[in-house]
Amino acid sequence: MSRYRLVAAAIIPILVLTACNAASPSAVPSSAAPSTEASASASASAEATPAASQGDKFKGVSVNLLTFNGPQVAEPLQRRAPDWEQLTGGHVNVVAVGFQTIYDKAILDASTGTNSFDGYVFDPQWLGDFVGPGYLLDLSDRVKGDTQLQWDDIGPFFRDFNATYNGKVYTIPLDGDFHMVYYRSDLLQKDGLKPPATWDDYMTIATKYNGQDLNGDNEPDYGSCIAKKKGAQSYWWIISIAAGLLQGKGTNEGAFFDTGNMNPLFGQNDAMNKALDMYAKTATVGPPDELNMDVGGTRGLFTTGRCALSMDWGDIGTLTPGTYAQDKTGATITPGWKEVLDRSSGKLVPCDANTCPNAVDGVNYAPFASFGGWSGAINAASPKANQDALYDFLSYMSAPAQSGIDVTLGKTGYNPYRTSHFSDTKPWLDAGLSQGAADNYLGAIKSSLQNTNMVLDMRIPLTKRYQQDVLDTAVSQYLAGELDAAAAEQAIADGWNAITDEAGKDAQLAAYVASLGVQR
Amino acid sequence: MPSSPRMSPALASSGNSVTADPDGLTAEGQASETRPPRRAIASLGAWRSDGAARWLFIWPTVLFILVLSLFPLVASLALSLSKLSFRQGGIDLKFIGFANYQQLLLGLERSHFLGVLKSPSPLGWAIVIGTLLLTAYAWTRAVRSGRYGPFGLILRLFAGVLLVGFVWLLVQAMVSEGGRPGSLIVTLIFVVVGIGLQYVLGLGLALLAVQQVPGRRFFRIVFLIPLTITPVGVGYMFLMLTDTSKGPLEPLWVTLGLRDFTWVTDPWLARAAVIIGDTWQWTPFVFIVLLAALESLDQEVREAALADGASRWQAFRHITFPALLPVTTTIILIRLIEGFKIIDMPNILLGGGPGTATQSMTLQAWIDWNTLNLGRSAAVAYLLLILVTIVATLYVNVVRRGVTETV
């Protein structure tokens, strides 16, 4: 027995010391807590002060927040929740689940009236399913006067399209997501090549470097790495490739359906033929098992120097520090096309001032805001005190003081979405990027965000079925050779039309138009 | 206090004066007070009788299990005939008849569920005609043998029609120009090929492990390890092993000159990868059951046969294997039922791809569920239930009964 007492006597002080150490960071404002955050800009720290003055504003209020278990996405919420609790007296219980489970849990919780979650940090693509039945709180009035949130600092695209549905604000952006192309800047510089402006350029560069040793290990490497696994991200890339062929007249035109009659643009037409053909071609200059790779696989290959080109969200930029690709990585806006679809004939026509008014040097860029970025929403059926507390927490998370640091860290899965994220490069340098790499990375994001022809991801009811079932299956079958281009396009169009008819064509058209922010 | 049918009303309402006679429960009022210890013991005996036990323990349990089993069955049947949509404060279920089934068997989803069906090649026609003739011959023999009653003959006729129908489907999808199997056939491929491999390997390992060789206890434990790993874990392990561009076996592929080899672009290689992973996980189950069966066999007959000059193969063929048949049929039945539910390996390893090459029925149901097409998901699940029930029933009645009668 005495032996156990000795062991207990040894363990208890250790536990007490550990607890004290663990508790200490939350005792100081978030801007000074973790070591990486200690270097936050002075202005960012100052902006956290108003929240600190709130004292015990939400004392006794505990909220449940459902999100993705990443570990990205949940990580910053869990890391910063104690800081916010220290400032306000409230409590945030972050419930983290698998990506596929978030939607099911959230919608079942809301629709059955269980309402065990006060809010969600989820995919804004699901707004169509949540706003219609009235599950989400309208945040329009709250965001306007919120000095902590600084709504106008959020990029116009994320503010006016991503967070907004049918003219009302329903989410607070915590992340900015869209596709970009990454390239090996050292290789292109050595060979005097420019980053790809069109998809034809992309294939030319990828073909040149495919099979060469790109990282000095005497092994042949790959020209292009794009994740093509079924049930993962495969269907998003085909949207990026097709976007510049399908949408030429600005975000409001839409790239998925004809806003006049709800006919799928992802059907049998020349634009889809060309996009599918290009998508399949990229697989010929990629890893042999690219058809079974998700972004985890392609990011690993790119950061170890095995790919000359890759398409991804903003994550590769923040993942390169400390890898072979550090200071050898460039980012550029998703390549475009010099042709665009004539929707009346289904044929491609050359880009000119009428067909592609947003074209740059004759190239119609249409950067795709795939997914849209993790965003916080509040359950309309939650008690008001919980709604207030959760709103304050989401506002705190999105505020420049916090988000300015989180978007620079690869572990958060968050990418920049505020003007201030681009104006101050110090947090990026602190995160390990060189000045050149930071300028290049932020420049690529900026050029995408400022593009008025950006493509908004689908956000209508049953979006999951349109994309994750029908589109994903048909594209995967096409890449595997089960379907030719015409059959794949037919399968997509038939599947989408069936879903549209099931949900009601007029209702779906109205939802699509509303999601694009089109006022009629 | 609940009253038993065998209790009199007086007994049921008498509170602490519960009594009984040896033949049953009766209310004896005053008499019971004169012999309390004996009455109490008799009462306890009555409570412990079969009748009371049936009402108090068995029926509630049976009802509880029935409710637990039947409710999901009925609910999922209703769901498979409905379209579900969400509204504020609830869910709308709209009855749509057999539309979900129609979509799977005849409509848009037919190519995913049944496959792309094309006219058979000459070889395909030969297979269908051969199967038809063999089935007709087998049924005629069954009729002439006089061993089966009307029900047995009808059952065999039904089994024959199903077999020919299935072979017809199989041939259209796989022995034709441009055909392709759907999730129904893919599931059956996983089940038949996987279980066949698992049985052969499990039997081989069991025959090895039953020998008196050094370290056999160690090997028995090693052989069992895959069974203890969660299927999701096995899926991720094989995901790494089949990754030829950066997985742990990449140097091996390069050394073998298979730098550009991939498991995942060819449908049959992808299916093979799934079957290998599934076989790796489930062979130990077959192994451990067959090992136990082998160790319980009486060795005297086999030793006598060997002493009389029989070869080891003859002893195995005519003595050991027939003795294992009852256990074999049971293992295969268990694995059949379990194998039809395969989802982890094809989902984690390949996401059901390339294309839909490894999409099992359960995975198809899961994808539908995940995209909130709950009605169609339930329809797929119900079709799977029907398939498993038919296969298991036919297996039990035609194969297993035949084997046990033979043995």
One CATH from 2.102.10.10, 3.40.50.2300, 3.40.640.10, 3.40.190.10 for A180-370+451-515: 3.40.190.10
Residue of chain A minimizing CA distance to B109: A495
Q: What is the CA radius of gyration of chain A?
A: 24
Peptide bond into A287 cis (omega under 30): no
Residues 465-494 of A with CB under 8 A from B: 465, 468-469, 473, 476-483, 494
Contact A469 B265 (CB under 8 A): no
Complex confidence, ipTM? 0.77
pLDDT on residue B21:
41
* Interface test mutation site (partner B, options A107, A230, A478, max chain B beta carbons within 10 A): A230
Q: Does A21 touch chain B (CB under 8 A)?
A: no
pLDDT on residue B17:
37
Q: Does residue B297 sit within a domain?
A: yes
A174 within 8 A of A404, measured Cβ to Cβ: no
Q: Does A292 touch chain B (CB under 8 A)?
A: yes
Of B262, B267, B373, the CB nearest to A289: B262
Contact residues, chain A, for B374 at CB < 8 Å: none
Contact B355 A134 (CB under 8 A): no
Contact A289 B259 (CB under 8 A): no
H/E stretch holding B318 reads none
Contact residues, chain B, for A479 at CB < 8 Å: 354-355
Give the integer Cα–Cα distance in Å for B55 and B5.
Answer: 9
The predicted model gives B133-139 an average pLDDT of 94
- What tokens were used for A223? 């020209």
The predicted model gives A7-26 an average pLDDT of 40
CATH of the domain at B246: 1.10.3720.10
Angle B321-339/B267-296 helices, nearest 10 degrees? Answer: 140
Which one, of B272, B266, B282, lies nearest residue B341 by Cα? B282
pLDDT on residue B406:
59
Residues 404-463 of A with CB under 8 A from B: 462
Give the integer Cα–Cα distance in Å for A7 and A213.
Answer: 57
A251 within 8 A of A368, measured Cβ to Cβ: no
Ranking A32-41, A79-88, B181-190 by mean pLDDT, the lowest is A32-41
Which one, of B391, B398, B400, B393, lies nearest residue B325 by Cα? B400
A510, with CB counted inside 10 A (0-12, 13-18, 19+), is: middle
> Which of B57, B73, B89 is a domain's end point?
B73
Contact residues, chain B, for A287 at CB < 8 Å: 245
A421 within 8 A of A403, measured Cβ to Cβ: yes
Contact residues, chain B, for A288 at CB < 8 Å: 244-245, 259-262, 265
Q: How confident is the model at residue A45 (pLDDT cuts 50, 70, 90)?
A: very low
Q: Does residue B18 sit within a domain?
A: yes
pLDDT on residue B370:
84
Q: Does B371 touch chain A (CB under 8 A)?
A: yes
Give the integer Cα–Cα distance in Å for B249 and A487.
Answer: 37
- What tokens were used for A310? 């890759």
Strands (E), A217-336: 222-225, 307-312, 329-333
Q: Does B112 touch chain A (CB under 8 A)?
A: yes
Contact A480 B357 (CB under 8 A): yes
Give the integer Cα–Cα distance in Å for B177 and B49.
Answer: 69
The set of residues, in sequence order, having a beta carbon less than 8 Å from that of B61 and lying 6+ positions away, is none
Of A103, A291, A494, the CB nearest to B265: A291
Could you tell me how far CA B170 lies from the centroid of its own chain?
21
Contact residues, chain A, for B261 at CB < 8 Å: 288
Sign (positive or negative) of CA dihedral B51, B56, B59, B62? negative
Which one, of A496, A459, A499, lies nearest residue A370 by Cα? A459
> Which of B73, B102, B122 is a domain's end point?
B73
Q: Does residue B149 sit within a domain?
A: no
pLDDT on residue A64:
97
| DSSP string covering A189-235 | HHTTPPPPSBHHHHHHHHHHHTTS-SSSSSS--EEEE----TTTTHH
pLDDT on residue A480:
92
Of B88, B353, B372, the CB nearest to A292: B353
Which one, of A173, A193, A197, lies nearest residue A184 by Cα? A193
Calculate the average pLDDT of chain A.
87
Contact B354 A479 (CB under 8 A): yes
- Chain region(s) in chain A for CATH 3.40.190.10: 42-173+375-412, 180-370+451-515
* pLDDT tens string B344-364: 999 999 989 899 999 999 999
B375 within 8 A of B84, measured Cβ to Cβ: yes
Which residue do the tokens 């005849």 mark?
Answer: B106
Contact B86 A107 (CB under 8 A): yes
Calculate the average pLDDT of chain B.
84
A267 within 8 A of A341, measured Cβ to Cβ: no
Question: To the nearest 10°, the Cα dihedral for B302, B307, B309, B311?
Answer: 40
Give the integer Cα–Cα distance in Å for A280 and A377.
Answer: 38
The predicted model gives B54-77 an average pLDDT of 86
pLDDT on residue B360:
96
Domain count, chain B: 2
Q: How confident is the model at residue B334 (pLDDT cuts 50, 70, 90)?
A: very high
pLDDT on residue A31:
30
Which one, of A3, A28, A90, lies nearest residue A394 by Cα? A90
Q: Which domain holds residue B56?
A: 9-73
Q: How confident is the model at residue B372 (pLDDT cuts 50, 70, 90)?
A: confident
Contact A111 B350 (CB under 8 A): no
Contact residues, chain A, for B86 at CB < 8 Å: 107, 110-111, 129, 133
Distance set, CA B243 to CA A287, A367, B100, B313 (Å): 10, 31, 37, 41
B86 within 8 A of A111, measured Cβ to Cβ: yes
Q: Per-residue pLDDT for A155 more than 60?
A: yes
Which one, of A243, A238, A333, A341, lies nearest residue A281 by Cα? A238
Q: DSSP letter at A433?
A: -
Q: Per-residue pLDDT for A423 more than 80?
A: yes
Residue of chain A minimizing CA distance to B112: A473
Q: Does residue B388 sit within a domain?
A: yes
CATH number of A42-173+375-412: 3.40.190.10
A20 within 8 A of A351, measured Cβ to Cβ: no
Q: Does residue B261 sit within a domain?
A: yes
Distance from CA of B398 to the nearest CA of A (A): 37
Give the integer Cα–Cα distance in Å for A486 and A272.
Answer: 9
Q: How confident is the model at residue A246 (pLDDT cuts 50, 70, 90)?
A: very high
* Interface test mutation site (partner A, options B85, B93, B363, max chain A beta carbons within 10 A): B85
pLDDT on residue A72:
84
Give the integer Cα–Cα distance in Å for A90 and A118.
Answer: 13
Q: Does B186 touch chain A (CB under 8 A)?
A: no
The predicted model gives A283-307 an average pLDDT of 92
B259, with CB counted inside 10 A (0-12, 13-18, 19+), is: middle
Residues 69-98 of B with CB under 8 A from A: 83, 85-91
A241 within 8 A of A333, measured Cβ to Cβ: no
Q: Which one-letter amino acid corresponds to residue B374?
A: L
Angle at B360 between CA B166 and CA A465, to 5 degrees: 120
- What tokens were used for A53? 């003055």
Residues 111-170 of A with CB under 8 A from B: 111-113, 129, 133-135
Report the half-sphere exposure of A412 (CA within 13 A, side-chain side).
Answer: 29
Q: Does residue B373 sit within a domain?
A: yes
Residue of chain B minimizing CA distance to A300: B246
pLDDT on residue B106:
94
Contact residues, chain A, for B371 at CB < 8 Å: 462, 464-465, 468-469
Q: How confident is the model at residue A516 (pLDDT cuts 50, 70, 90)?
A: confident
Distance set, CA A110 to CA A124, A391, B91, B326, B402 (Å): 16, 18, 10, 52, 55
B376 within 8 A of B353, measured Cβ to Cβ: no
* pLDDT tens string A156-192: 888 888 899 888 999 999 999 889 999 999 999 999 9
